[in-house]
Amino acid sequence: METICGYLDDSIARWPDAPAIRGADGRRWTYRDLGDAARAAEDMLKAEGTQPGDRVMIVAENCAEAVAFLFGATRLGAWAVPVNARQTQGEIDRIIAHAEPRAVILTTGASNDAATHADRLNARRVEDTFGQVAIAATFASAPEPDRAVAVLLYTTGTTGDPKGVMLTHANLRFAGHASATLRGMSHDDTVYGVLPMTHVFGLASMIIAATYAGATIRLEPRFSAEKLYRALMDDVTILPAVPQMHALLMQYTSDQELERLTGSGLRYVSSGAAPLDPIWKKKAESFYGIALQNGYGMTESTAGICATRHQKGDPDISVGRPLDGVEVCIDEAAQGGGDGIGEVQTRGPHVMCGYYKAPGETEKILGEGGWLHTGDLGRIDGEGRLHILGRSKELIIHGGFNVYPPEVEAALNDHPAVVQSAVIGQVADGDEQVLAFVQVGERAGVHEAELKAYVAERLAGYKRPSRIIIARSLPAAPTGKILKHRLLECFKAELGV
């Protein structure tokens, strides 16, 4: 069976002395160094009694140690379980209870949060070629017989209820190859690695793709617009990001009285996790000086389903056509109610093999013929490009009309004072109201009435927010993606609830 470690072995054979990892701590590993670190990690896990099919939990933020143990665990035939160290004690403990890992590795040398969890779990510190980590007491659990699984990723979803997504070596190899090919990635490229490798976008489209191409990964544990700007002015050529990162970077440069990015070697920039607005897209392309590519995927599809391949200035704001080898269809009967709008479904080598220990949940999302039910609403245009209209559960029905949050968010995001926004529905007086939350820049003095007047010129009456809450920040996941399920709780004082 071909594994993700095969990509690492190939890059070691072709470019042993080429840079593989550049850490935020200044550490630099060649591909030979990464291979040595992965073997040291494998040896340590073996010494702890880890067997093929065991789960190895890696509590980490982006760092070289985490990459070493990802490859070390999977080389052994174990399932790697990457978990963000910034999660709470309760969240970590729930995953431990569900995954029953044989070993818990914590990247204490690179993450204060990992060190805190290590102390609580009475983990012992270890240092070797792979760097500084801690290992917790092993758990007595039987190895799983399925050797095809490489990674078990726990998703938070929109409800905050985690599920263990089983991704195979074949899933990740396909995703890494597809991402690298789409970007024309080579060993001369440097990829900015701030997307958490504990999430599928960072894992598949960043770590696995760069390893396949022999490119350098410039790892950064936490997003900072200032650090990103400096990296772009240094050596970064490929920037995979989510819209919030682009928005905050442009806000940072604006605060420095800079209108656009100049003097950078950036050649490819992408956006994922949210639909694009044409005005915002044009603004971003003017800022970067190159085309902004969009894409669409989810954890259960190993990140990628569709992506754009257009030139700068293309008005297309879709998520593009399906990746090679991927099928997409629209089920109008499932959601949407006609007009070409329905639930997006997909099948192909990117689809997970299921949820861990949850056959009932797996059966709900994986339909006949291998079709994955994404839960997203979309339509396919005459050019075969997919347009995402939002999560089916986020659809707002106001006054009998369908309101798609991304459309309202796009109108708000066009305002020069708005950094980003989030729109949800709230039931009041027997109807669902449109409720908006906007993040503004430090120097912005915009008021709710001004924003309401602004969107009134751009949206039909039934789409306009009944309330607009203005804030300096919005609750977000480590990827920067806004956590909509936390908005009502975070702003209950402003809402008077």
Count of domains observed in the chain: 3
Does the residue 194 lie in any domain?
no
Write out pLDDT tens, residues 315-367. 888 999 999 999 999 988 765 556 788 999 999 999 999 999 999 999 999 98
Residue 161 has pLDDT above 70, yes or no: no
Residue 158: predicted pLDDT:
41
Q: In this model, does residue 397 exceed pLDDT 90?
A: no
Same-domain status, 368 and 310 = yes
pLDDT band at 275 (very low <50, low <70, confident <90, very high): low
Question: Would you mind telling me the total number of residues written for the chain in this entry?
Answer: 497
Q: How far apart are the first and last CA of the chain?
A: 56
Residue 277: per-residue pLDDT: 73
Burial environment of residue 172 by CB neighbours within 10 A (0 to 12, 13 to 18, 19 or more): buried
411 and 384 together in one domain: no
- Distance CA(138)–CA(414), nearest Å, equals 52
Asked if residue 464 and residue 359 are part of one domain, the reply reads no
Which tens digit of pLDDT belongs to each residue from 311-324? 998 988 899 999 99
- Residues 363 and 426 occupy one common structural domain: no
pLDDT at res. 204: 96
Residues 123 and 230 in one domain: no
Instruction: Give the pLDDT band of residue 269 (cuts 50, 70, 90).
Output: very high
**pLDDT reported for residue 441:** 79
Confidence of residue 245 (pLDDT cuts 50, 70, 90): confident
Based on the fold, state whether residues 333 and 469 are members of the same structural domain. Answer: no
Same domain flag for 318 and 367: yes
Say if residue 108's pLDDT is above 80: yes
pLDDT mean over 355-382:
93
Please give the pLDDT value at position 400: 60
Average pLDDT rounded to a whole number, residues 457-467? 86
CATH number at residue 469: 3.30.300.30
| pLDDT tens digit sequence for 411-425 | 898 898 888 899 988
Model confidence pLDDT, tens digit, residues 174-190:
999 999 999 999 999 99
Residue numbers of the domain that contains 260: 223-392
**CB neighbourhood size of 25 (10 A):** 13
Average pLDDT, the chain: 90
My answer on whether 388 and 406 are in the same domain is: no
State if pTM tops 0.75.
Answer: yes
| Residue 430: predicted pLDDT | 58
Kindly state whether residue 196 falls inside one of the protein's structural domains.
no
CATH number at residue 47: 3.40.50.980
Q: Let me know if residue 405 belongs to a domain.
A: yes
Evaluate whether residue 89 is within a structural domain: yes
What pLDDT is attached to residue 450? 92
The CATH number given to whatever domain includes residue 272 is 3.40.50.12780
Considering the domain boundaries, does residue 458 fall inside one?
yes
Report residue 157's pLDDT band, with 50, 70 and 90 as the boundaries: very low
